[in-house]
Amino acid sequence: MKITLLQRDIVWADPEANRRRNDLLFADGGGSDLYVFPEMFSTGFCTQPEASAEEEPSATLGWMKEKAAQYHCALAGSIAVRERERYFNRFYFVFPDGRCEHYDKKHLFTFGGEHRHFTPGEERVVVSYAGVRILLQICYDLRFPVWSRNRGDYDMIVYVASWPKPRTAAWKQLLRARAIENQCYVAGVNRCGCDPCNEYEGGTVLLDPYGNALGECPDGTESRISAQIDMDELRAFREKFPVLEDADRFVLTR
């Protein structure tokens, strides 16, 4: 499966402007099976979403479905949405045929006040696409390895993020840890640029199960990378070195 990761700057609190800018990404006619955008790619990381969150079903979700159908690919990324008087940081995965699955961010970023306005999700979500089982995760989730622990139910984790520049080193190290400990591919897609609160450096990367980069964006600038993941190689590695079979058993109570 060919994956394209999109390290983007984001126009603050303006979904329509961001959709117009992202239209240009498909001018080359596509060519990937999956395109991944950063966290809250239609607004930026707005922790006070009343003025910028999109009503469910959102116009940006409609845009994702349109592009997925037009270019015969899947699209993924999170959006701030309002649903029945509650706000969610919602990670959409849109299939080429228009089907959609979503994950609501569980670990809200209390340091930045996200928990004051958003409702946390409670369900872990794995989607299956093109023969790959993909765990959906958002930004701050990366710091909580129990939530993402491989139970033998996925082959790749996708993290979408608005991870600020001062903590870029932690972002890069934790992504590699998740790949190694879970024997899986990891795609980490972080924004670049600035918003009213933070500067973002990117650090977007696709990692193999050894923690090696298959492709990575240069820090601090809008860019994109495309790379292939190989399920035969992943299965062979897990069979040769079956670490996951020795994992500690546990059950999450909430």
Task: Kindly list the catalytic residues.
Answer: 39, 105, 139
DSSP per-residue string spanning the chain: -EEEEEE----TT-HHHHHHHHHGGGTT----SEEE--TTTTT-S-SSGGGTPEESSPHHHHHHHHHHHHHT-EEEEEEEEEETTEEEEEEEEE-TTS-EEEEE-SS--GGGTGGGTBPPP----EEEETTEEEEEEEGGGGG-TTTT---SS-SEEEEEE--BGGGHHHHHHHHHHHHHHHTSEEEEEE-EEE-SS-EEE---EEE-TTS-EEEEPPTTS-EEEEEE--HHHHHHHHHHS-GGGGPPP-----
